[in-house]
């Protein structure tokens, strides 16, 4: 039986420092979560350290410096609430990205990825495929977003539009 958990999901924040906008996003949209995933392109070790103060699981992205790549894996499988989550940033062109990330895992309930800056949440072959989009910076979805994965007797993914402006 699956325990009820809520997981906040971020990707492609591309920040050089922890700023008010990131703090606001975490406080306003992700404060009621039990764990936090970030699937790459932090771009600053200070972001990893800041998120590491929570129950945090991350992978590095193609834009991350060596310090982050030495600290976080390229991909990982996380087991929470009786479910298996495959985390990977993604690579290469947007065309075919979803297929590449799905094929990089076996025996997972959810594949969580980033790289495209485009929010995605749908089931494919019995696996939830989930990309939170980007909370700040360039967005291919024309809005900024984070993700929430709600896990109880299965998993449901929700894309949440956020206000990423920094006052």
Residue 1's pLDDT is what?
43
- Does position 71 have pLDDT exceeding 90, yes or no? yes
Strand positions, DSSP E, the chain: 5-10, 35-38, 56-58, 75-80, 83-88, 110-112, 119-124, 127-132, 145-151, 155-161
Task: Specify if 51 maps to a domain.
Answer: yes
Q: What is the CATH number of the domain that holds 32?
A: 3.60.21.10
pLDDT in tens, 47-68: 999 999 889 999 999 999 999 9
Rg (CA), the chain: 14
> Does 28 reside within a domain?
yes
What pLDDT was estimated at residue 165? 67
Average pLDDT of the chain? 93
Tell me which residue of 80, 77, 58, 78 sits closest to 5, measured CA to CA. 80
Residue 92 falls within a domain, yes or no? yes
Domain membership of residue 166 (yes or no) is no
Is position 25 within any domain? yes
Q: Which range marks the domain in which residue 47 is found? A: 5-161
Say whether pLDDT at 76 is over 70: yes
167 occurs within a structural domain = no
**Structural domain total, the chain:** 1
Label residue 136 by pLDDT band (50, 70, 90): confident
* 3-state percent helix, strand, coil for the chain, nearest multiple of 5: 20, 30, 50
């Amino acid at each position: 039986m699956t325990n009820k958990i809520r997981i906040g999901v971020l990707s492609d924040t591309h920040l050089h420092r922890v700023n008010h906008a990131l703090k606001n996003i975490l406080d306003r949209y992700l404060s009621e979560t039990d764990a936090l995933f970030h699937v790459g392109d932090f771009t600053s070790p200070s972001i990893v350290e800041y998120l590491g103060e929570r129950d945090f699981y991350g992978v590095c992205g193609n834009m991350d410096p060596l310090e982050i790549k030495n600290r976080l894996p390229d991909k990982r499988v996380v087991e929470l609430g009786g479910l298996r989550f495959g985390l990977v940033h993604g690579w290469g062109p947007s065309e075919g990205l979803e297929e590449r990330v799905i094929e990089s895992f076996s025996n997972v309930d959810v594949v969580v990825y980033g790289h495209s800056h485009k929010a995605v949440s749908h089931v494919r072959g019995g696996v939830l495929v989930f990309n939170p989009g980007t909370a700040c910076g360039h967005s291919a979805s024309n809005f900024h977003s984070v993700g929430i994965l709600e896990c109880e007797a299965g998993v449901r993914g929700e894309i949440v539009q956020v206000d990423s402006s920094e006052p």
